Amino acid sequence: MTEPTAPPVAEKREHSYTHHGVTIADPYHWLRDQGYPTIDDEDVLDHLKAENAWFEARMAPQKALVEELYEEMKARIKEDDSSVPQRRGDFLYWSEFEQGTEYRKHYRRPLAGGDAVVILDENALADGHEYFRLGAFSVSKNGRYLAYSSDTNGSERYTARIKDLETGELLADAIPGIRTSLTWVAGDTAVVYGEANENWRTLNAKVHVLGQQVSDDVEIYREDDESFSVDTGLTAQEDWLVIATGDNETSEARLVRADNPTGEQILIAPRLKGREYDVDVRDGTIYVHTNDDHVNFRLATASLDNPGEWTTLIEGSDEFYLDGFELFKDFYVTEGRLRGLDQIQLRSYADPNLVKPIAFTEASFSTGLSNNPEYDQDKLRLAYESMVTPDSVYDYHVATGELELLKQQEIPSGYDAGLYQVERIEIAARDGTMVPVSIVSRKDRAMGGPLHLYAYGAYGIAYPPGFSTTRLSLVDRGFAFAIAHIRGGDDLGRSWYLQGKLNERTNTFNDFVDVAKGLIAKGYTSEGKISASGGSAGGELMGVVLNSNPELWGAVVAHVPFVDVLATMLDKDLPLTPGEWPEWGNPIESKQAFAYILSYSPYDQVVAQDYPPLLVTAGLNDPRVTYWEPAKWVAKLREFKTDDNELLLKTNMGAGHGGKSGRFASIYEVAEEYAFILWQMGEAK
């Protein structure tokens, strides 16, 4: 194949649509294969292949830098690594990577003594596939069976299988097309799952009895609202099955006896728009975590006889954001954030005023409960990290309050935390709101140097100030790495999220731009010396700030970017759209929502101006951000931009939303991203 000498130029084909009296021209609409989810249009595939060829040609001179970065990143990974064993029932469970392998092996060993046994080898399952992802992984309560699911093309349509761990045999049972957990019920004779329909939505819960035909599986719940999705799980004592359904702002839950999953169901409380709740049960008492009377949630209790009458146990608080809880035999745990920092609190059933926080001393960190499968626990498994402290696994001894470090991520090539510093500062957004920023850098870095700025800012998902081995490859080359905790995430509580969604969505974009300007004003860097990146909804963020403030950025990377926002939100047949309307607005029904989304939708707001260097990634099988969004965006940018800066699109032809799946393949893609940034920022040495 001849190496290309010019970027591909997408053909323009006349296409438009009209809503609320407004007509939108969309000449690159043809890049959406009209047979989707089948993608076999030769014109579409040829264009994507041409973009990939251009990516390869332009990155070819940087091959040595990519390899250098990759080897650095790979050297920081302990190749023969294992997780800390954890007890469940009569066994200890853990997983291991072997030298040179991409995926994990899962092991267990009897507590009573005996040899370790491999119960699942992901490498064997991945053999022959370009992509592999393990989904559900659930061992039956009696320890005999393993139910697991896997995806081999990135479409997030998983196939479930059952393995007999006593014989090592794989049962004939195979359940295709699921995307939920696998929940053991009926004395470990059956699993509950949800099907993904043709639009990738899970609207039901079914019971599969081991050994029976999948066609005979009994549906125990069917959701009528296509914007909702269904999943299941067990309560703390594993005696109740929870059937949960909801969208991004409303939820509803039912209970049914786990030993009789086809029996009578108990509705906790009927759905009420804007009310979210989730439940657990202990000794006949229902615990309800809900936002019904405070934006930062409260914890309440109810009886099984009157499940909709909730009595407050922990009141909602302006200061403490209560984002979850977990019940154990002798105590329960609440998790949340205080002033933006993660909190774990032990609480007493007998004394609601007795609160024992688990304290950490760093100024900025990320922590939370890890895997604690036993109801009767005298120690809690915790995860902890910061921007300078590698991933750490602790056991917290409940009786003594002792934190026992079990394992800290090992970095074979060496790591000296004393070389680095972490700062947490606040920068004023244009409306006066103070936005937190976490920054890690070398202590010997001169102020004013290059800086990488990252954010997500959507769906109420906080981006934690955690550790990254790959990030060191930028930081050790003189970059500061900053995380902007912008509105749209719930970093500072639920209201922080609400201030970045629907009709306040533009706060998210403004916060990011204002943080960048604030970092310049404070002397951390200068205009044009900032690289920026984000993925998915964070890729939408990249698209908006490229349009609004192109002069700020020295290089930008947008991963699987959600950039064709208006067209996607107008297409009710796309997998995610109905469930996304509470997040973005429904432009089909609302003229105001249509106009507002149009005002920032990155694809629709591309204009004739200079744009900074840009690398865009996509996944052909991505069901979340469909491949044509980044493809159309890049095509339109090529048409309009008035500069000669690099514009590259790389589409993974055998992967989905998360890029390549193996641990080494995935860091190679990070190496490509960082090589692009260093090259374009003039920092490649």
Would you call 533 a catalytic residue per the annotation? no
Neighbours of 94 (CB within 10 A): 16
What is the rounded (10 degree) CA torsion for 670, 673, 675, 681? -140
Q: Which residues of 587-606 are buried (b: 16+ CB within 10 A; e: fewer)?
A: beeeeebbebbbebbbbbbb
Q: How many CA atoms lie within 13 A of 500 on its CB side?
A: 31
For 538, the 3-state DSSP assignment is helix
Helix, strand, coil shares, percent, the chain, to 5:
20, 35, 45
Tell me which of 536, 564, 601, 604 is the catalytic residue: 536
Retrieve residue 456's tokens: 């997500």
- Distance of alpha carbon 191 from the chain centroid: 26
Confirm if 251 and 244 have CB atoms less than 8 A apart: yes
Residue type, 552: L
622 among known catalytic residues:
yes
Angle at 657 between CA 652 and CA 661, to 5 degrees: 70
CA dihedral in degrees (117, 120, 125, 126; nearest 10)? -100
Least Cα distance to 630 among 604, 653, 651, 600 occurs for 651
Strand partners, 405: 394
Contacts of residue 374, defined as CB under 8 A and 6 or more positions apart, other chains included, come to: 87, 88
Q: Is 536 a residue of the active site?
A: yes
| Cα(5)–Cα(27) distance, integer angstroms | 25
Task: Give the active site residue among 106, 452, 485, 657.
Answer: 657
Query: Taking Cα atoms as reference points, which of 565, 571, 563 lies closest to residue 595?
Result: 565
Considering the candidates 33, 173, 564, 622, report the single residue annotated as catalytic: 622
Catalytic residues: 536, 622, 657
